[in-house]
Amino acid sequence: MTYFQSLSAAGFAATAISFGPARMSFGLFVPEFRSAFSMSTSQVGLVASLGFAGFFVALLIAQFLLNRKGPEAPVLSGLLAATIGLGIVALAPNVGVLATGVFLAASSAGFAWTPFNDAVHRKVRDADRPAALSEVSTGTSLGIALAGMVALAMVLAGIDWRVCWAVFAVASAVALVANWAALRHVEKSPESVPREGWRDLLGIASLPLFAIAFVFGVTSAVFISFAPERFADAGGVPGMSEDAAPALVFIFYGVFGLAGLVTGRARDVIGLSWLLRVLMATGAASLALAALLPSSWIGLISSAGLQGINVMMTSAVLAFWSERLFPRFPSLGFTAALLATAAGNVVGPALAGVASSTSGASATFLGTAAMPLLVAMFIRDRWVTEQPDAADCAGKSA
């Protein structure tokens, strides 16, 4: 196996674990957690938000470690956190321990994302780089789909949910070893980000990026935290047990998310601003379908599939957009966009849990869907063509 192949495979494994079972599977197993720990809807929202808070904190730590020790330290830290967190969930005796495990497991996604992009950027030749990054990103979609398949097998075979989380923990440990072998020869970057780099990100031209990233974070987190249970509570889909509905949501979410691989081509065809409008509308439609058609195959497949497309393609768009806005600090700019997304991830489920308890699930999904629709209406072409004012940046750096 060449180094290109080993690094791509290790990155695929890291993203599959971090963005599949580790970050997303709390929503997949909400019905089981409710039964095991007598959780209320508000508690579900709070634990989900705590998991996304782990992602937020890990993004900051990962950038710090990346600048000082290279990509190996944050990626391995993330996979270690995933392994421990998934194991804690498997053994959790109460909600408090469950929340701790969810926090640790979900933090792994924040540790792994930008450091792996950095590793590929410096260790893979230009001609192979797009293929390597595509393989790494594909791990996200397939990891989510595989988590859904494991959960579906659990339902069909009558396996306890704790066994599933133990399987996830073992898979994470294997990915940890594979990444240690692949990354131990990747050196620290010779270029460090100057301290003023963070302040250079806070110009007027960057506000639309951060606002859209925040809204995207709210809507995507509300969907993954509550939609699987929404379809189960509605009785599932014809021909399948209601307990299988969350697994089916994850499977179609992950499979349709492979559309993220053609994001660059879509941007070239219709332009970045129109792609943003389409993706915001796609996210809104996904939430609306969860509210209005929760007991049909069309509703489940369309809702989960549209959300998978929205999440994977919007994530790629944030990378394109941040790189255009911050050519001097592409990695740092992308991290800042992800932090805005993570902030929305934290706020969304907590508020949605309270709203669902008082107004019902349908109203909560429709209310959340209104956010990206409004954003789509106000997107302007100049948002994705303007560059930060150089003089303004220089003034901030002084």
Distance CA 368, CA 283 (A): 10
Is 139:12 a contact under the CB 8 Å cutoff?
Answer: yes
Predicted confidence at residue 2, as pLDDT, reads: 56
207 half-sphere exposure, CB direction, 13 A CA radius: 6
Is 27:225 a contact under the CB 8 Å cutoff?
Answer: yes
Distance CA 158, CA 168 (A): 17
Residue environment code for 354-376, b if the CB has 16+ CB neighbours within 10 A, otherwise e: ebbbeeebbebbbbbbebbeebb
Name residue, tokens 């008082």: 358
Written out in words, the top-level CATH class of the domain with range 196-398 is: mainly alpha
Is 116:8 a contact under the CB 8 Å cutoff?
Answer: no
Distance CA 104, CA 173 (A): 14
Is 200:329 a contact under the CB 8 Å cutoff?
Answer: yes
Domain boundaries in the chain? 1-192, 196-398
CA angle 280/327/55 to nearest 5° reads: 55
Spell out the residues 6+ positions from residue 395 whose beta carbon is closer than 8 angstroms to its own. none
Query: From the first residue on, what is the mean pLDDT of each consecutive set of 10 residues in the chain (398 residues)?
Result: 64 85 92 94 94 93 84 90 97 97 95 72 62 64 91 90 95 92 68 57 84 96 95 93 94 93 86 94 98 96 97 87 77 85 95 94 97 94 65 39
Closest listed residue to residue 323, CA positions, set 117, 125, 183: 117
Distance CA 279, CA 281 (A): 5
Sign of CA dihedral 167, 172, 173, 178: positive
Distance CA 283, CA 276 (A): 11
Predicted confidence at residue 16, as pLDDT, reads: 87
How many angstroms separate the Cα of 169 from the Cα of each of 37, 58, 383? 21, 19, 42
Burial class (CB in 10 A: 0-12, 13-18, 19+), 191: exposed
Distance CA 118, CA 75 (A): 11
Size of the chain, expressed as the number of residues it contains: 398
Distance CA 292, CA 343 (A): 28
Written out in words, the top-level CATH class of the domain with range 1-192 is: mainly alpha
Is 306:314 a contact under the CB 8 Å cutoff?
Answer: no
> Which amino acid is located at 251 in the chain?
I
Is 67:189 a contact under the CB 8 Å cutoff?
Answer: yes
- DSSP notation for 326-392: -TT-HHHHHHHHHHHHHHHHHHHHHHHHHHHHHH-HHHHHHHHHHHHHHHHHH--GGGGT----HHH
Is 303:283 a contact under the CB 8 Å cutoff?
Answer: no
- Do 1-192 and 196-398 come out as alike in CATH topology? yes
